[in-house]
Amino acid sequence: MRPVTLTWIFPFAFAGVLLAAGCGEDASPTNGGTPAVFNGVVRVVDNQFIPASAAIAAGDSVTWRFEGSASHTVTEGTGPTDPGPLFDSGLRNSGTFGYRFTSAGTFQYYCNPHFAQGMRGTITVAGP
Ligand SMILES: [Cu+2]
């Protein structure tokens, strides 16, 4: 009886280890081929973007989650004198803002009120 019991227990114990290992990170494989474990969400805190640079694939979306107590923007471009045409969240201090990147390239963005404090980010989009 004992060997039978052990062969039943082992597969379940092994599955438990796999499940525990999978719970540790919430990285999703939606950014295939890129080096980081970026999960598609950039945290907007006082006064920085985390991560400040991230890599995705064309067709992927990025969600910015506003977690700071101050209001911030997610504005495409290199700075307030050179805003881009693609996206601008407007001032927010809660909720999320999303944008889907359809073409390859390096896209810089910044926070309008905190650009001078270095609140800037970059999304690098790999082509198909
Ligand atoms: Cu800001």
Q: How far is it, in rounded angstroms, from Cα 53 to Cα 2?
A: 55
Q: How far is it, in rounded angstroms, from Cα 1 to Cα 35?
A: 49
CA of 47 to the centre of ligand 1 (A): 5
Q: How far is it, in rounded angstroms, from Cα 104 to Cα 87?
A: 16
pTM tops 0.75, yes or no: no
Alpha-carbon distance values, 1 to 6, 10, 115 (Å): 9, 15, 70
CA of 90 to the centre of ligand 1 (A): 11
Number of domains in the chain: 1
Phi then psi for residue 45, to 5 deg, are -120, 180
Q: Residue 74's domain spans which residues?
A: 26-126
CA of 36 to the centre of ligand 1 (A): 24
Residue at 44 is within a domain: yes
- Write the pLDDT tens digit of every residue in 15-68: 444 444 444 444 444 544 445 579 999 999 999 999 999 999 999 999 999 999
CA of 76 to the centre of ligand 1 (A): 13
What is the reported pLDDT for 128?
Answer: 79
- Write the pLDDT tens digit of every residue in 60-94: 999 999 999 999 999 999 999 999 999 999 999 99
Residue at 105 is within a domain: yes
Residue at 74 is within a domain: yes
CA of 38 to the centre of ligand 1 (A): 21
Residue at 6 is within a domain: no
Identity of the residue numbered 5 = T
Residue at 16 is within a domain: no
Supply the CATH number for residue 44's domain.
Answer: 2.60.40.420
CA of 49 to the centre of ligand 1 (A): 9
The 3-state secondary structure of 94-105 reads CCEEEEECCCCE
| DSSP string for 49-86 | EESSEEEEETT-EEEEEE--SS-B--EEEEETTEEEEE
Residue at 14 is within a domain: no
CA of 117 to the centre of ligand 1 (A): 8
